[in-house]
Structure 1
């Protein structure tokens, strides 16, 4: 019995051992399904569903014979970043086994349409390259905006479609959910694919129809503002409005607005500085509209930050030319520059806060409020999008980038609505500003007209004839009204007073001071004929009445008509000395009028002989300046006066050289006995020809 049990156990053991030595059954090999594309010829067919997908790069992956059964599968209606490969940049391959079954009687030519893929790619059909979009490394080139592209699918109706995709290094604002195909490729006959491609382009245009109309308005406003600025270069408001309205047009052109395929390097290089200029123009526009240009500290910081932002924009744009091979240091540089630009963008809040402290009209309040709203949206959007692949904030995509409403297929997002509101409010504020300027200009022109009328009275249209002298005079103000003056006054005793002077400053203020001086001068001449006493009286009247200004003056007293000796008495108050024949007269130095109430003045007496030439002039003749900045100077003036020119000739020489200040010249030539005296006066508000007697 024991032997039977032992033998049975031995047989069982041997059977078990033999069974363990038999080869195990192999698992069935994986098979990659083939997508049968039916109905080609009646329309387009999407190549949707699961594709074979693999990260990395290998030229063998383009061939039809390559076994991709162990690759992962991925959908093509979403980027690979949203399908288990977040923040991946570099090469990846898509493969799909296809069998195209056209409809009866349809053409055997097919085309493939890829609507959106990041960033550059190549398309292979059965191992043969049939087209590409952009250029892949080692010398990559890709586009700033994505456009559809179609490729011929010729040869066999059965095979493997392989797409080699390259995603550029990620930027600071790049989403982790990016890279690769965004929509399923389409297959169809050439005509239908062409129609589909055009329909895709039309959908882009339709989405931007509102932007096209807004661009026309922006261009019109920019051109109008440039024209207004060229009329008055001091009106900086208009040039900043022109820049603010023109830069968005340039920025949108770099995007997809006009369907121009700008390369990434060129577009990014232009985009970043333009983006900086757009914000800078808004800053300076706020400074002018919110009446902050009198705050020197704020204006200085605006200029400093504008320069820094412009430099940062150029540097950030320059990185784009090398972004195809961007490493860690370039991405860090991009992150630093982008963060700086975003921080500086907060500066408008400082300007708006300062503007709220001012007493502004309704139009400027609307600008401040709309600018605050836009900057808040942009700041929140930039903060949520910056480094979003690390923070995983979805505020930008969930709220900021979500349309508020859609009209006829045009999506209106919060940023677009706020920018339109700011643009319209700026137009309204500029319109109000232009009206205010026009009112002020009309008032100023009325004041200038009054000043011109006064000055026409003060500069006599005719001069009295001086027996024994030939007199010429010329007056040329630098502006519509000037600060030079001269008078020739006859005294009851037969003597004649000649006064010539120059009030500090130009324009309306100087002209008003001239009117006061001439009035006092005429009153004093009735009391005294002494040049030094008249200067003393003028000085006492002017002290404390010229708002910190002063006046230089010369007064000459010519002897009575019956004085055959030609005596001339001269007193000087800080004015340039007269020129007698070939040299300057030596006069005692003295203070100008209006500086010290008790200043005293000396006088000298000389005799003019027949043929003697005496010229009086203001510093506008001496200080004429050429286009290259060279002064007319004493040497040229001495050579000019030594030639004994008329007052008009001397004035014309200085104006031709380059007038900067009011110019007045008066010449006296002593005549011989029996010669007929004459006078000549040239002034801009008189007749074009010299007035001569």
Structure 2
């Protein structure tokens, strides 16, 4: 009988066995990050392209002088209304102008910058439009930036609008819209009237109120081609607000998979909560900008009262658990300050919101000091924490002069988005590094 062969190869050490899953996780983190980055850059590049000159030649902006009147009267939609004593509002945009968020071109200041500072409510815009003669069908592309909702009328007939106006207005995020003109519109003159509504109580800039980008008169099929261009720009403006939340949810899945073998299970549990809250907060930006699912007041309330205070508090609890022993005093102070932040947001008391945010910033600084003195994996942990803090406190950085938005490819990308783009893969690497061997 042949003798048994005894292997002389050394058994893998615990460290080698542990490095294998870590290495696999790291490779996947790098690959997914690169794919997501490439996809975002592609969408930004497509959406940031200027309107094709051929389309704009056939589809001019209805800029220039409009008749303007604050207040509201449904009869102001009628073609025979005498508007000779109305104000004149010029919707001509300076060259290369764009809004400070998405990068929408042809941006002009609203009625607050034209003699009506602080006014919120209804106002009307009117002008006569000449449709070129011929046998082509014509459309009007609605204004792509309005504070906050609008209705568009053609010779007194309502063609559509953004949101719901009237006795109980419901305003939503403005997005590209297209309205078909009557079949016999070619070769005629008509009055285009726009009823705009700015939600009272909303935060408003010094140039807020009403129409910021003039509508467009366009023949088909150029109108539909330009409509698609506008939608690409709108999608690009908020694509990061979808990709980053998806990455956060994926990171939650990774964290939950790692947690049973992690040296920091409590940290991971709170990180999952913080990631979920941050993801929902960011995702709301895309939802309110692309759909009618959420009204602007609901969006603002959720952000100020729930998502903002809860997400900052969750990150504070998370980092308090990175050290071997968390501080109960910091946990207690965080809960108290969070209550102040929620009440301040609900009651719209700015001072309470400032106390909450600055208070948590102080607590996070104390946590960082503790991490420097004795925390594990200090460099990666502190770097990750720093980028998350930049994302959470971008407003405060902006108040001291730090730029908070840039326009690569002509599309706005905020400091918060850049910070999360770095923080998410760093946090993934940090979580993977907490893996322990099965025997530990």
* Alignment TM class, shorter chain as reference: 0.7 to 0.9
| Residue pairs, 1:143-182, within 5 angstroms | 143=172, 145-154=173-182, 155-156=184-185, 157-171=188-202, 173-182=203-212
Alpha-carbon distance, 1:367 to partner: 3.5
- The equivalent position to 1:400 in structure 2, one of 388, 403, 422, is 403
Displacement over 6 Å in runs of 4+: 39-42
Match of 2:216 in 1: 186
* 8 A Cα contact 1:87 1:177, kept in partner: no
The match for 1:52 is 67
User: Does 2:314 match 1:281?
Assistant: yes
1:379 is displaced (CA, Å) by: 2.0
Contact 1:286/1:352 (CA < 8 Å) preserved in 2? no
Q: Is residue 137–residue 220 contact of structure 2 (8 Å, CA) maintained in 1?
A: no
1:204 to 220, 223, 234: 234
| Aligned residue number for residue 352 of structure 1 | 365
Q: Which has the larger radius of gyration?
A: 1
CA apart distance, 1:229: 4.9
Q: Retained in 2: the 8 A contact 1:363–1:425?
A: yes
The structural deviation recorded for 1:71 is 1.4
Q: CA distance change for structure 1 residues 298 and 213 in 2, over 3 Å: closer, same or farther?
A: closer
* 1:343 maps to which of 332, 338, 355: 355
The corresponding residue for 1:63 is 78
Q: What are the Cα deviations for residues 219-255 of structure 1, in whole angstroms up to 9, with x where unaligned? A: 21112223445789x9222222222223333223322
Deviation of the 1:413 alpha carbon: 3.3
Query: Over residues 104-140 of structure 1, what are the superposed CA-to-partner deviations in whole Å (9 max), with x where a residue is unaligned?
Result: 4x32444343322221222222222222321223211
Say whether residues 1:98 and 2:115 are aligned partners.
no
Q: Distance in 2 between matches of 1:108 and 1:303?
A: 61
State how far apart, in whole Å, the 1-side matches of 2:77 and 2:392 are: 49
Contact 1:40–1:101, Cα closer than 8 Å, also in 2: no
Number of residues paired by the alignment? 360
Q: Residues 338-373 of structure 1, C-alpha deviation per residue, up to 9 Å, x if partnerless?
A: 432332122133232343143233223323443554
Q: CA deviation at 1:53?
A: 0.7
Q: Is the 1:345–1:379 Cα contact (8 Å) retained in structure 2?
A: no
Give the alignment of 1:486-505 within 5 angstroms. none
Would you say 1:129 and 2:158 are equivalent positions?
yes
Q: Quote the Cα distance in structure 2 between the aligned partners of 1:68 and 1:40.
A: 32
Q: SS of the residue aligned with 2:171?
A: coil
Per the alignment, do residues 136 and 376 of structure 1 end up closer, same or farther by CA in structure 2, a change over 3 Å counting? Answer: closer
What secondary structure, in the 3-state scheme, does the structure 1 residue paired with 2:419 have?
A: helix
1:250 equivalent to 2:280? Answer yes
Q: CA deviation at 1:69?
A: 1.5
What is the TM-score with the length of structure 1 in the denominator? 0.47
Cα deviation 1:10-45 (Å, max 9, x = unaligned):
xxxxxxxxxxxxxxxxxxxxxxxxxxxxx9998312
2:217 aligned counterpart, secondary structure: strand
Q: Distance in 2 between matches of 1:41 and 1:75?
A: 20
Change (3 A) 1:160 1:116: same
Q: Within 5 A, what are the aligned runs for 1:223-372?
A: 223-229=253-259, 235-256=265-286, 259-261=290-292, 262-271=294-303, 272-291=305-324, 293=326, 295-310=327-342, 316=346, 333-334=347-348, 336=349, 338-346=350-358, 347-357=360-370, 358-360=373-375, 361-371=378-388
Structure 2: distance between partners of 1:213 and 1:124: 37
Pairwise CA distance, 1:92: 0.7
Partner SS state of residue 84, structure 2: coil
Check 1:111–1:368 CA distance in 2 against 1; reply closer, same or farther (3 A cut): closer
RMSD across aligned positions (CA): 3.1
Alignment gaps of 5+ in structure 2: 1-53, 92-107
Higher strand share: 1
User: Matched residues in 1 for 2:341 and 2:385: separation?
Assistant: 22
Which has a greater percent of helix?
Answer: 2
* Post-superposition offset of 1:80: 1.4
Equivalence for 1:6: none
Deviation at 1:187, TM superposition (A): 0.9
Alpha-carbon contact 2:316-2:364 (below 8 Å) kept: yes
Q: CA deviation at 1:73?
A: 0.7
CA deviations on 1:36-60 (whole Å, 9 max, x unpaired) are: xxx9998312111011111112233
